[in-house]
Amino acid sequence: MASGGAGSVHAGWSFSWRMEVCATEEEVRPAAGVAEATAEGKLWRPRRVLITPEAYALEHGRVMLARAESFGAEVVRLKSNRLMGLGASAGEDERKAYALAKTSFAIVVSPPGQRKLQPIPPSADWQFHVAQGCPAHCQYCYLAGSLSGPPITRAYANLPEILEGLRAYAGLGGVTSKSLERMGEGTTFEASCYTDPLGIEHLTGALEAAIGFFGSWEAPVQLRFTTKFDGVGRLLALEHRGRTRVRFSVNAASVARNFEGGTASVQQRLRAMRAMAMAGYPVGLTIAPIMPVEGWQAEYSALLGAVAEALAGIDGVDLTAELITHRFTPGSKEVLLGWYPKTTLDLDEGGRTQKRNKFGGFKYVYPKDPMATMKAWFYGAIAEVLPSCRVLYWT
Ligand code: SF4
């Protein structure tokens, strides 16, 4: 997925660890545990796949196991339904344990609590989860403030049950369904809060299943997900019936260059967006996390120009934009500095203001004046460069 804040991913893993930047050269066949760039997009190849007994009992679990094995992963059949021994324990090399978790793919059954849906304002009426964790290495990743436990990517074997469970929520939305501007979208379901689902689609097939599920669901509903990957090949011919909006998470060139790792490049994401738009999907931009880096107007202008170029010549593109500024919490800062001790990401509380939530917590956001300046600039620039684009929100 996903990038920062509203409606997407990462957190709570406090081991010291260094990012493993993935190879992208197509002529080099990558080792397991890194990503492979192919015609199908950038594909993550985990070093090992773990499966619990209850996940192995389900057909979708065994299908994912076979896929991971075909990508070269070593198979580990667990004896317990709990993922054990993936974190650092006393005396263990924390760095090693952390890297081991990040290069592993686990197939489990989703926790019952996750099947009780929660709203995810301002993105969607409901969030649901087909997986948890992401193989990429973005130094600002919001999962750092929202998940706990070792950073192993877990995919859920009970996918049919998860999808069927969505039916009970149709017509019950309180976020986009209550918005005059967005109620036409129907009840909205966001699938990228805890993961980047396209980044693991070659292993899970979860998006293919979900897009088909929403396409055949005779109700005003919409599936939404956001991604920093580009492996859309298998999604292009699906019967989506316009009920899935895929957003590509993009950023200024220097932000992507300095702080993203293991993802598809912004240019590759825009090519994938063009392919999805040509296949008739509603598409979108998640511009996140927005940062006022030096020369930010020029950098974000270039980004918007690249988007316009990517979509040129396609009639009737349904394009939206979601604008999310950079933010962090004391907890996410601690985790991110543990993961990326040499990061140059601006995590200085002195340049921020506190934004409180209804649960008593807070995050550090940019102060009011720079926020207002950036917001006005983005709304103006998008209206000028992408006149048909609907901006859904700024946060
Ligand atoms: S792509 Fe980057 S920001 Fe998105 S979930 Fe993965 S690591 Fe986090």
Helix (H), strand (E) at residue 290: strand 283-290
The finding on whether 2 has its CB within 6 A of some atom of ligand 1 is yes
Listed in sequence order, the residues at least 6 apart from 42 whose beta carbon sits closer than 8 Å to its beta carbon are: 22, 24, 35, 36, 229, 230, 231, 263, 264, 268
Residue 388 phi, psi dihedral angles, 5° rounding: -90, 0
- 77 beta partners: 51
Tell me, what's the pLDDT at 390?
A: 97
The finding on whether 107 has its CB within 6 A of some atom of ligand 1 is no
The finding on whether 143 has its CB within 6 A of some atom of ligand 1 is yes
The finding on whether 193 has its CB within 6 A of some atom of ligand 1 is no
Which tokens is 187 given? Answer: 């009840």
DSSP state of 7: T
Q: Cα separations (Å) of 37 from 22, 238, 388?
A: 10, 23, 32
User: Ligand 1 center to residue 3 CA distance, Å?
Assistant: 6
Task: List domains and CATH numbers for the chain.
Answer: 35-394 (3.80.30.30)
- Rounded to two decimals, the pTM is 0.89
* Residue 196 Cα: closest atom of ligand 1: 5
User: Ligand 1 center to residue 137 CA distance, Å?
Assistant: 6
Closest to 152 measured CA to CA, from 14, 23, 1, 50? 50
Per-residue pLDDT of the chain (395 residues; tens, 9 = 90+): 544 445 443 222 222 222 222 222 222 233 345 455 555 556 899 999 999 999 999 999 999 999 999 999 999 999 999 887 665 554 456 567 667 878 999 999 999 888 899 999 999 999 999 999 999 989 999 887 777 777 899 999 999 999 999 999 999 999 999 999 999 999 999 999 999 999 999 999 999 999 999 999 999 999 999 999 999 999 999 999 999 999 999 999 999 999 999 999 999 999 999 999 999 999 999 999 999 999 999 999 999 999 999 999 999 999 999 999 999 999 999 888 888 889 999 999 999 999 998 888 899 999 999 999 999 999 999 999 999 999 999 99
